[in-house]
Amino acid sequence: MKRLKSASLYVVIIIAVVVALSCEAMIATAYYYRTFHQYRARKARLDNHMFSGLQLIRSDPSRLDYEDKAVALSSDDRDTIHLSKYSWGAFDVGVSKAVWGKDSSVTSILMGLPIDSAKSGALYLADEDRPLSVSGDTRINGNVFLPRSGIRTAYFNNNGYQGSASLFKGARKNSQRELPAPDLARINALDQLADEESGLRMPETDTLIVSFCGKGATYRSKVSSALMHKYIKGRVILRCDSVLTIDSTTTLEDVTVFARAIVIRPGFTGRCQLFARDSIVIGDRCELRYPSVALLNGKPKAMQVQGGFIRFGSKSRFSGLVMVWDKERMQTPAAVYLGSGGKYTGQYYGALIGIPENTTVIGQVMCKRFYLRSGFGLYENYLVNARLDADALSPFYLGSSLVPVVRSGTQKVIRWLE
């Protein structure tokens, strides 16, 4: 018999080790693949449950807020989800969370309502027995709600009308004496939030991020305050009993602000909801992205001499809802002053709205009276070199129930918060 060399034993041992390691790797791979497959199956099931929860929230006609409400999708305990719905300024936030063991799937959305084409248009001018006068290169695209006295061309600074011969592109309907009423229930809810006295001191940190899926944070100042060099995002309420100034070095994302008066310094960029009693002043070259809100909710007549105002600086850009509302009829009602050379997208609602020359509004304007200041003169119901274009508004634009041109029913997703 031939004898094997001693090195052969080493070769056999090495081959055996290689085979053993290969088998172990195959077993480990199979184990991890099975574990990953089970995780993906659980995650897919949790995601399906989470999206089902969002559908339930969106279709819920109830206006009551609720937090961490357990809902069973089936008789299986693993199919129980937790839903939250609460008002966030002019809109609603929905939170859906599905949990299975140590795994979970959670998301939050900001919800709004689609625009009702039968109620919307480029212009709603209440009937005060005064016609609308257009001059220069004024363009009105979309349906219009006008007084019975109608619309006419006019000379302004020795210049006549240069627009379309039809004066507007769209259907004409007669307006009423008063503007359509807003959502008073939501306005009252905003009143209660504005009057609350709870809250911590204004944040001193440079960065503050609060999830919409958890508990919110509220901060309050009893005196005039300024926000500078800050980044604040999420479920944060800032409340000021006096004047709150927001510098251009501050960024607000989805934050809600309540104050007696709000001043936005020139160059500010952000996305926020602003609610004030007396005034909101937005400086030059500011940009407030969709869906921002600027709402002046005035005090009762006994507490003020005249209505407040929302004023925009020149070359500003705003996308969302601008609204002034007086609880009682004022001799001098609240007003909205749009800045010259700016671009404004969304819905604009108020008793008095000033649209200067070379200003564009993509969406709808609803007011009792227009006014235009030129030099030392003040002109009522004049539009000069202005563009009101409802047709250019995105078909995916969603509004708030505050303005009565939205459809009731299932809410849609404005944006995914988390």
The mean per-residue pLDDT over the stretch 359-386 comes to 89
pLDDT at 90 > cutoff 90: yes
Q: Token pair of 151, please?
A: 């619309």
Q: Is the pLDDT of residue 362 over 90?
A: yes
Q: What is the reported pLDDT for 305?
A: 55
Q: What is the pLDDT of residue 6?
A: 64
- At 302 the pLDDT is 44
Give Dmax (Cα) for the chain.
124
Nearest alpha carbon to residue 394 among 8, 120, 53: 120
pLDDT, greater one: 197 or 272: 272
Confidence of residue 2 (pLDDT cuts 50, 70, 90): low
Of 59, 30, 78, give the one whose Cα is nearest residue 413: 59
More confident residue, 153 or 330: 153
Q: Is the pLDDT of residue 1 over 80?
A: no
78 phi, psi to nearest 5 deg: -70, -10
In three-state secondary structure terms, 80 is: strand
Check whether 405 has a pLDDT greater than 80: yes
Task: Quote the tokens at residue 75.
Answer: 């008789």
Give the pLDDT score at 334. Answer: 87
pLDDT over 90, % of the chain: 55
- Give me the pLDDT at residue 391, please: 92
User: Would you put residue 368 in left (φ > 0), alpha (ψ -120 to 50) or beta?
Assistant: alpha
CB 134 within 8 A of CB 159: no
Is 282 a residue whose pLDDT tops 50? yes
Given this model, what pLDDT does residue 241 score? 92
* Residue closest to 95 by CA, chosen among 73, 65, 75: 65
pLDDT, one tens digit per residue, over 165-186 is 889 998 999 999 999 888 888 9
Please tell me which residue, 389 or 299, carries the higher pLDDT value: 389
The two tokens of residue 308 are 């407040």
Round the average pLDDT of the chain to a whole number and report it.
88
Separation CA 290–CA 272 (nearest Å) = 9
Q: Tell me, what's the pLDDT at 275? A: 96
Confidence at 407, pLDDT banded by 50, 70, 90: confident
Per-residue pLDDT tens over the stretch 290-339: 999 999 987 655 445 567 899 999 999 999 999 998 877 777 788 999 99
Phi, psi dihedral angles at 217 (to 5 degrees): -125, 135
Question: What pLDDT is recorded for position 299?
Answer: 64
**50 in Cβ contact with 97 (< 8 Å):** yes
Confidence category of residue 88, pLDDT binned at 50, 70, 90: very high
Q: Is the pLDDT at 387 greater than 90, yes or no? A: yes
CA distance 313 to 337: 9
The total of other beta-carbon atoms located within 10 Å of residue 396's CB is 9
Whether the per-residue pLDDT at 396 is higher than 70: the answer is yes
Nearest to 142 by CA among 124, 126, 118, 121: 121
Q: Let me know if 375 is exposed, middle or buried by CB neighbors in 10 A (0-12, 13-18, 19+).
A: exposed
Q: What is the DSSP string of 148-213?
A: TT-EEE--BTTB-B-S-TTSSBS-EEE--SSPPP--HHHHHHHHHHHH----BPPP-SSEEEE-TT
Which pLDDT score is estimated for 368?
92
pLDDT at 300: 57
Structure confidence at residue 101 (pLDDT): 78
Q: CA of 306: how far to CAs of 19, 41, 294, 379, 380, in Å?
A: 90, 62, 19, 20, 19
Q: Average pLDDT in the 278-293 region?
A: 95
The pTM is what?
0.88
The string of pLDDT tens digits covering residues 212-249 is 999 999 999 999 999 999 999 999 999 999 999 999 99
pLDDT tens digit sequence for 94-150:
999 998 878 888 999 999 999 988 888 899 999 999 999 999 999 999 999 999 999
d(CA 277, CA 326): 10
Tell me the torsion sign for CA atoms 95, 209, 285, 220: positive
For the segment 393-411, the average pLDDT, to the nearest whole number, is: 89
Q: What is the pLDDT of residues 11-70, one digit of tens each?
A: 778 888 888 888 888 888 887 878 777 778 888 888 898 999 999 999 887 777 888 888
Q: What is the pLDDT of residue 70?
A: 86
Tokens of 316: 């500003």
| DSSP conformation class of 385 | S
Domain residue extents for the chain: 15-112, 123-408
Distance CA 167, CA 83 (A): 50
Position 169 scores a pLDDT of 92
